[in-house]
Amino acid sequence: MSTLPVRQVRHDSGVLCAPTTPPRRLPGIGDLLKLRSNLLNAIQYAAQDGSELSYFAVGPKRMVFVNRSTAADVVLSDIHTFGKPNAENPLRLVLGDGLISNPYHDQWLRRRRALQPMYSRPGLAGMRQKMADVIGEHTARWEGRDRTELRVHEDMLSFALDIVARCMFSRSGDTVSGVLTPGTISFLLEFVERRLRMPLSLPVGVPSRRNREFTATMRGLDDLVHRLIRERRRTGERHGDLLDLLLEARVGDAAEPLTDVEVRDEVLTTFVAAYETTASALTWILYLLACYPDVQRSVREEVRSAAPPTTGERQGSTLLECVINEGMRLFPPSPTIPRQVGKDVFIGSSEIPKGSFVMLNVAAIHRDPAVWERPDAFLPERFMNGVPGKGRFLPFGAGAHMCIGKGFAMMEMSMLLASILDKFEISQRDSTGPAPRAMLTLRPREGFRLTLTRI
């Protein structure tokens, strides 16, 4: 592993810098405006005075932000008290009872065990060629010219969607497009986000313009996914993709296959889980590589001289993986992780009433000065000896609910970044960096570009 010069640069680029909006609480709706207009700003407020916990209210909803690693540890260690959000979770409107949104612990656990082989070493090995094909197609588009302007977030969204479409259905993003497009997924996530932040929402059955669009979009998606499941079951063809593995998964002691509805839930869950998160991580990592040409050079040397990227189990063992981890520390793709408390409980000396939402404030935890030396600096080498334990480094969560697709994501990101670094120099086009905006994922507030120059 090459040794990097110590960098003193403070890299906040708006994350956890001084918040801009004064906290304002309005009668009846509480902190709604604060949370809706700029969640990141609210997250920053929550963390800025150094307190472990901070409190928000949106109508009847009570939210507790957990800003420090010690308190995050408490939450992550008790999966029964701090469970997934309950059955009212608006994500269920899209993902049903897939792994992310399943509120029933025992059912979730049986499914999690059934799906584990999909993301095991042999499961992932089967995805490597599919990923390589998609990477080849995307980099070929940039190779035609000496210099390419990368529309970073848009291009990474398109890349991440192609990867998940190819790995799930052995089809390109284009074949499923028209239905499963970046636009559709963004619309659905925004629909869910609005409902998460509003104190009250109209039932989906009420034919407002937005609800009608939602219902039509979901019908299109359901038709597509059920058609693909039926075709696969009817022909019995195997494609070595995630859909094959889902159909082969067996649940519980009776080793029952998943029903069509359960397969549909997991297909949509995988699309939603794998798409914006990976695109967000890649977007910020490319940006950081452009900001730090010395790191870029060292990773390029490593990529050109070293073994192929790993599946992520050996985290911290390559400089490329260190860069990915440090990128996700500074710009966590999922800036908050939600839980809902099943009974009155204490975190430290603070009592949290049953039903409250507990949001792990990952953006703040990743810069907890009690854990991270020079928390605002970009120092990939801090991960050389691996990642710190539960509660401290949470890009993929931790504990029983930890991201099941972590190995998949690390493999995909390592392969794409290695390929880009081998062929191109990445540089900034503008001196001002992109400002982040927190939705369910951390996105750039506006589109920004980087230059890829062929080398």
Give the footprint of ligand HEM on this chain (CB under 6 A): 99-100, 112, 269-270, 273-274, 277-278, 281, 333-334, 337, 395-397, 401-405, 408-409
Closest-by-Cβ residue to ligand HEM is 405
What is each CA distance from 416 to 47, 131, 279, 322, in whole angstroms? Answer: 34, 9, 11, 15
Question: 100 in helix, strand or coil?
Answer: coil
Instruction: Give min distance, CB of 43 to ligand HEM, in A.
Output: 15
Instruction: Give me 218's structure tokens.
Output: 């979901």
Question: 135 in helix, strand or coil?
Answer: helix
Taking the CA atoms of the chain, what radius of gyration do you get in angstroms? 22
How far apart, in whole angstroms, are the C-alpha atoms of residue 405 and residue 400? 13
Residue 19 or 309: the one with the smaller Cβ distance to ligand HEM is 309
Instruction: Give min distance, CB of 115 to ligand HEM, in A.
Output: 7
Instruction: Give min distance, CB of 30 to ligand HEM, in A.
Output: 25
Instruction: Give min distance, CB of 75 to ligand HEM, in A.
Output: 9
Residue 34 or 111: the one with the smaller Cβ distance to ligand HEM is 111
Instruction: Give min distance, CB of 99 to ligand HEM, in A.
Output: 4
How far apart, in whole angstroms, are the C-alpha atoms of residue 437 and residue 434? 10
Residue 34 or 357: the one with the smaller Cβ distance to ligand HEM is 357
Is 403 a known ligand-binding residue? yes
What is each CA distance from 417 to 5, 130, 153, 389, 453, in whole angstroms? Answer: 21, 16, 14, 26, 15
Contact 115, 266 (CB under 8 A): yes
**Among 268, 286, 278, which Cα is nearest to 409's?**
278
How far apart, in whole angstroms, are the C-alpha atoms of residue 159 and residue 153? 10
Residue 4 or 91: the one with the smaller Cβ distance to ligand HEM is 91
Instruction: Give me 155's structure tokens.
Output: 């291009």
Instruction: Give min distance, CB of 399 to ligand HEM, in A.
Output: 7
Residue 32 or 415: the one with the smaller Cβ distance to ligand HEM is 415
Number of neighbours of residue 301 by Cβ within 10 angstroms: 13
How far apart, in whole angstroms, are the C-alpha atoms of residue 288 and residue 285? 5
Residue 105 or 423: the one with the smaller Cβ distance to ligand HEM is 105
Instruction: Give min distance, CB of 437 to ligand HEM, in A.
Output: 16
Residue 34 or 329: the one with the smaller Cβ distance to ligand HEM is 329
- Please state the residue numbers annotated as binding site: 403
- Please state the residue numbers annotated as binding site for heme: 403
